[in-house]
Amino acid sequence: MYAITGASGQLGRLVIDALLETVPADRIVAAVRNPTKARDLAERGVVVREADYKRPETLATAFVGVDKLLLISSTEVNGRLPLHRAVVDAAGEAGVSLLAYTSMLHADTSPARLAIEHRQTEEAIAASGLPAVILRNGWYTENHLMALPAALEHGAFIGVAKDGRFSSAARKDYAAAAAVVLATDGHAGKTYELAADDAFTLAQLAAEVSRQSGKTVVYNDLAQDAYADVLTSVGLPPELASLLADADVAASRGALFDDGGALARLIGRPTTPLASVVATALRD
């Protein structure tokens, strides 16, 4: 059986969609903290099991009979490592034949503070001795566009990335890659740096939004502290705002750029163009 943790989230649902193209629904386990939020998956025939990172006993039950497991990284910033270790430990006890983990692009060398817990999780997985594959995902293009309504209203995206290039890919591309490593053989022991075929700067993102929306949108580069303050003012916790601003600075130094083409090779098609993701965001 194949299990996906965090399966009721945006990435997890897309992984399940991709797996369903080749795997029977009753062979897929949606491991979720709150099963009531995955009723739609159960209605599609997917096996839904409770799996709360903070309650290890639920993980042991959720992974019974699981052969290949995808650990989708927790969204709990600065607290992920013990949660991830709980999953790794439970996977070892369950005897899974492959553990896949969604890490961060160039996690082993990235200067971004966000990479620290990903790097530590990779180390914990290696220490466990489990056969594993590391999926180092770049930024999600959709995450850049979370600020789209404000950018259209005020005529600007903001950040601290200067002219740093982001090899951001669509969430569905990363999901397709995860499904491939679960459903096919030969991935144990590998680390994939997953990034889009084409990179863009935030100024180029703004130009694409302008082109498609018919509104003038620019990119305004701020000081790091000022950007963190803006993020805090719109409701982000101060520590998360600080980490995101730090990631932008890292991007300005090339930390979120990769031109290796591993993502396209893994999914067997070109990655989704920026223009397509922008068009979807504007339509929605």
Please name the residues in contact with 191: beta carbons below 8 A apart, sequence gap of 6 or more: 133, 134, 136
- pLDDT (tens digit, 9 = 90+) per residue, 13-37? 999 999 999 999 999 999 999 999 9
User: CA 224: distance to chain centroid?
Assistant: 24
Q: CA 224 → CA 158, 227, 245, distances in Å?
A: 11, 5, 6
Quote the mean pLDDT of the chain.
96
Residue 9 lies in a domain: yes
Residues 6 or more apart whose CB falls under 8 angstroms from that of 274 comprise 141, 168, 196, 198, 200, 204, 205, 208
Burial of residue 265, with CB atoms counted within 10 A of its CB: 0-12 exposed, 13-18 middle, 19 or more buried: exposed
Domain holding 18, by residue range, is: 2-137+169-194+259-271
Residues in the chain: 284
pLDDT confidence tier of residue 284, bands split at 50, 70 and 90: confident
Q: Are 272 and 172 in contact (CB under 8 A)?
A: yes
Q: Considering its fold, how many domains does the chain have in total? A: 1
Is beta strand 156-159 parallel, antiparallel or unpaired with respect to 98-104? unpaired
Residue 105 resides in a domain: yes
Note whether residue 235 is domain-resident: no
Q: How confident is the model at residue 108 (pLDDT cuts 50, 70, 90)?
A: very high
Order of strands across the sheet that contains 28-32: 47-50, 28-32, 2-5, 68-71, 98-104, 132-137, 191-194
pLDDT band at 75 (very low <50, low <70, confident <90, very high): confident
- Alpha helix ranges (H) inside the chain: 10-19, 39-43, 56-62, 80-94, 115-128, 141-144, 148-154, 171-183, 202-213, 224-233, 238-252, 262-267, 274-283
Share of the chain above pLDDT 90, in %: 97
Spatial CA neighbour of 281 closest among 198, 197, 217, 187: 217
Q: What is the pLDDT averaged over residues 58-87?
A: 93
Distances (CA, A) of 69 to 56, 65, 171, 202, 246: 16, 11, 19, 35, 31
CB 178 within 8 A of CB 100: yes
Instruction: Report yes or no on 39 lying in a domain.
Output: yes
Distance, in Å, from the CA atom of 182 to the CA atom of 175, rounded to the nearest integer, reads 11
Cβ atoms of 187 and 194 within 8 Å: the answer is no
Q: Is the pLDDT of residue 98 over 90?
A: yes
Q: What is the pTM of this model?
A: 0.96
Tell me whether residue 214 is in a domain: no
Q: Residue 112 maps to which CATH number?
A: 3.40.50.720
In a domain, 233, yes or no: no
Tell me if 243 is assigned to some domain: no
User: What distance lies between CA 226 and its chain's CA centroid?
Assistant: 26
pLDDT above 90 for 222: yes
Structure token digits, residue 6: 């965090």
Q: Is residue 99 part of a domain?
A: yes
* pLDDT tens-digit map of 200-212: 999 999 999 999 9
Query: Residue written as tokens 């009721």?
Result: 8
